[in-house]
Amino acid sequence: MTISHRSQPCLVDRKSADWSLVDDVLRGLRSSPKRLSPTYFYDELGSHLFDRICELPEYYVTRTETGILAAHAGEIARLVGDGALLVELGSGASTKTRLLLDSLPGLAAYVPVDISRSHLLAAAQRTSAAYPHLEVRPVCADFTQAFALPKPERTPARVVVFFPGSTIGNFDPPAAVELMRVMRRIAGPAGALVIGFDLAKDPAVLERAYNDSAGVTAAFNLNVLRRLNRELGADFDLARFRHEAVWAAAESRIEMHLVSVCRQEVAIAGEVITFGAGERLVTEHCHKYTPETFAAQAQAAGWEARRTWADERGYFNVQYLE
């Protein structure tokens, strides 16, 4: 007998109590170079802008990964098996997940995890409406901190972590290894990981993907300052910062910066932060891997790749690990 879950999905909040936005932001703005965590992009407007980025002609990432998932959903579903608990980290709009859900009718439950609460709830409601027999249990959490999984009505056969979109690329190598260890703890000994990661390629293609002609990525980048103005009472003048995304070959990553166009002082939470003319605030690192560099990172965290899928151009990889 199948249980129907037509009622609204019930969201649980699992934000760690000892974490503070103001402390973390000030720590980043006092350091050299100045930096902000890319997590802060995803307020409501930021999450919406990111959804628009995914549709930009220059941003091949989402389209390429979607193509890989669509082509191999059946095989991925066989590897995941029946009755699994599917935990998606940084689920956002959960659009790509549908490719898997369509092939996984026997899931115990789907647990989307995201930092952006209203965006998460709206996406969970849409998923629940589209899959009425699926138990959807959204968790609002920063997935870089350990959090407890909700207990679904059916005891899951195993836990499979789904981490698409090359979100792993936002983490510098030591933090990425640590996060992949956290995923091992979430998945447990019988668990698995399905992860998407972006590959190093022609720098011109990479730089175009992060400097789109419509300026959506620039708006996404600058929006983090608007958020600090709203939530921390800062007085950033968005017209005095410029979006820049550059390929750093030595680190094999795209670096997103906000460049101060003049010398200026910004007040934030009772502190004054001085920016020099041309000074960069680092807002994001997007690491691009080779199959070898990714395998080394996964192995350091105790994961073994069982299967790898790629697109025809060799732009992106999706991997199944145990």
Residues in the chain: 322
Choice from 97, 170, 223, 297 touching ligand AVJ (CB under 6 A):
170
The residues, any chain, with a CB within 8 Å of residue 291's CB and separated by 6 or more, are 199, 308, 317
Exposed, middle or buried by CB within 10 Å (0-12, 13-18, 19+), for 203?
middle
Closest CA to 37 of 214, 172, 229: 172
- Shortest spacing between CB 254 and ligand AVJ, in angstroms: 7
In the block, tokens 């899931």 appear at 107
Q: Does 68 bind ligand AVJ (CB under 6 A)?
A: no
Q: Which is nearer to ligand AVJ, 179 or 286 (CB)?
A: 286
Among 61, 101, 123, 281, binds ligand AVJ (CB under 6 A): 61
Torsion of CA 293, 174, 64, 138, to 10 degrees: 150
63 sits in which H/E element: helix 60-80
210 binds ligand AVJ (CB under 6 A): yes
For ligand AVJ, the closer of residues 128 and 223 by Cβ is: 223
Coil, strand or helix: which one is 9?
coil
- Does 53 help bind ligand AVJ (rule: CB under 6 A)? yes
Q: Which residue type does 167 have? A: T
Q: Is 164 in the site for ligand AVJ (CB under 6 A)?
A: no
Report which of 142, 180, 135 is spatially closest to residue 161, judged by C-alpha positions: 180
Of 13-21, 164-172, 227-235, 270-278: span binding ligand AVJ (CB under 6 A): 164-172
Does position 165 bind ligand AVJ by CB under 6 A? yes
**Per-residue string for binding with ligand AVJ, 119-138, x by CB under 6 A?**
--------------------
**Residue closer to ligand AVJ (CB basis): 127 or 170:** 170
Our CB check for ligand AVJ shows the closer of 53 and 321 to be 53
Residues that bind ligand AVJ (CB under 6 A): 53, 61, 165-167, 169-170, 210, 217, 284, 286
